[in-house]
Amino acid sequence: MGLFNFFSRDKKEKLDEGLEKTKTSVFEKLTKAVAGKSKVDEDVLDNLEEVLISSDVGVKTTLTIIERIEARVARDKYLGTDELNRILKEEVGALLDENNAGKETEFVVPATHKPYVIMVVGVNGVGKTTTIGKLAYQFKKSGKRVVLGAADTFRAAAVEQLKIWASRADVPIVQQGMGADPASVAFDTLQSAVRQNADVVIIDTAGRLHNKINLMNELSKIRKVMDKVIEGAPHEVLLVLDGSTGQNAIEQARQFTLATEVTALALTKIDGTAKGGVVIGISNELKIPIKYLGVGEGMEHLQVFNKYEFVDSLFSKRI
Ligand SMILES: Nc1nc2c(ncn2[C@@H]2O[C@H](COP(=O)(O)OP(=O)(O)OP(=O)(O)O)[C@@H](O)[C@H]2O)c(=O)[nH]1
Ligand SMILES: [Mg+2]
């Protein structure tokens, strides 16, 4: 396991568990794909293509991966099917590498901004508030001062839910209740964070894509106001996508990036799907770095996305 020794065992176990459904499905299909074959040939490649597509890697990304494996087969005519897992790890890892995805292993924010302001966006129900709660918990655990801002003022329950997470993670929250102006909440939050000498600010927002113009206006208003309090804020716009919606998540991301600039992605609910291959497709097609993976509903169920760990988990059999 050499390379993977420095990853925490606990994290790896949670990732393996979170990817369980996808792993099981990929392995069953891979086993069928190579049944009775000792070397990687046309048939095996055709089957592999199906495995990747049915795991929601996406057509475009699947074709790229297949082409690369084909090129390896052309170079090495006796590529054994027993090497397929290793080759997949290498090729998918290389692809993620080109997309600059997931180099971190810890919850860190750049020291260049204090406070570092993260605005969290995404459509309803994808897991924004939950992800914010988990992030707050992790940053707090690593010794950071965190402040949350309840700028999703669309529903009373939204503010309440963030309050619950704030108390679980034991971090302060700034809120003005339901119906308040989200930009005003963001303004207050940043001022309060500066006063408290906070390290990280995380702002929740409402996601109503059915009215793109409104959403766009609201998000740009929030951003403008933040920039007034702290120049350059928000430093990160984190788009949360529900990984269990597969290819729809890619489409959602495309729509969202039209509404506002997105600098990072969080993919949630990976634990609830056998189609975790979407992580590869999203990384490759959107070229926006995936920073976090949601692998369950609990406080500890958010991981810093690391391509090596991910590829290793996905294409390794559990011993
Ligand atoms: N299994 C699983 N469930 C998750 C994960 N992340 C979030 N959820 C669940 O998804 C549901 C919606 O999460 P929220 O955080 O409320 O989503 P939201 O984007 O804030 O939703 P709105 O505020 O309505 O826009 C909740 O029941 C969460 O517990 C995850 O990684 N895995
Ligand atoms: Mg919410």
Class of residue 318 by CB neighbours under 10 A (exposed 0-12, middle 13-18, buried 19+): exposed
Can you list the positions of beta strands (E) in the chain? 116-121, 146-151, 173-174, 200-205, 236-242, 264-268, 290-294, 302-304
Contacts of residue 171, Cβ cutoff 8 Å, sequence gap at least 6: 136, 140, 146, 147, 148
Query: Which ligand is located closest to the Cα atom of residue 132?
Result: 1
Contact between 192 and 202 under an 8 Å Cβ cutoff? The reply is: no
Would the pLDDT of 145 be above 90? Answer: yes
With a CB cutoff of 8 Å and minimum separation 6, the contacts of 167 are: none
CA distance 187 to 107: 25
Q: Is the pLDDT of residue 305 over 80?
A: yes
What is the per-residue pLDDT for 271?
94
β 290-294/302-304 pair status: antiparallel
For residue range 255-296, list pLDDT tens digits in order: 888 888 999 999 999 999 988 899 999 989 988 999 999 999
pLDDT digits (tens, 9 = 90+) for 26-59: 888 888 888 888 999 999 999 999 999 999 999 9
CA–CA dist 123, 127 (Å, integer): 9
Are 202 and 132 in contact by the 8 Å Cβ rule? The answer is yes
CA atoms of 310 and 154, how far apart (whole Å): 35
Ligand 1 binding residues, C-beta < 6 A: 122, 124-130, 152, 158, 161, 207, 268-269, 271-272, 294-297, 301
Peptide linkage before 110 cis (omega within 30 of 0) = no
- Quote the pLDDT of residue 278: 93
C-beta neighbour count of 192 within 10 angstroms: 17
Phi, psi dihedrals of residue 8, rounded to the nearest 5°:
-65, 140
Which residue CA neighbors atom 25 of ligand 1 most closely?
124
Residue 107: predicted pLDDT: 93
Q: What is the DSSP string of 106-170?
A: S----TTSSSEEEEEE-STTSSHHHHHHHHHHHHHHTT--EEEEEE--SSHHHHHHHHHHHHHHT
pLDDT bin (cut points 50, 70, 90) of residue 1 is very low
The proportion of the chain whose per-residue pLDDT surpasses 90, expressed as a percent, equals 66
Nearest-CA neighbor of 166 among 193, 136, 189?
136
Q: Tell whether the model's pLDDT for residue 210 goes beyond 90.
A: no
- pLDDT digits 0-9 by tens, 66-100: 999 999 999 987 889 888 889 999 999 999 888 76
The pLDDT of residue 199 is 98
Q: Which ligand is nearest to the CA of 252?
A: 1
Q: Using one digit for the tens of pLDDT, what is the confidence trace for 172-201?
A: 999 999 999 999 999 999 999 999 999 999
Q: Would you state the pLDDT for residue 247?
A: 87
Ion ligand 2 residue ranges (Cβ < 5 Å): 128-129, 158
Question: Does residue 103 surpass a pLDDT of 90?
Answer: no
Which residues pair with residue 39 across a beta bridge?
A: 80
Whether the predicted pLDDT of 211 surpasses 70: no
**Are the CB atoms for 252 and 279 separated by under 8 Å?**
no
How far does the centroid of ligand 1 lie from the alpha carbon of residue 204, in Å? 13
pLDDT of residue 319: 40
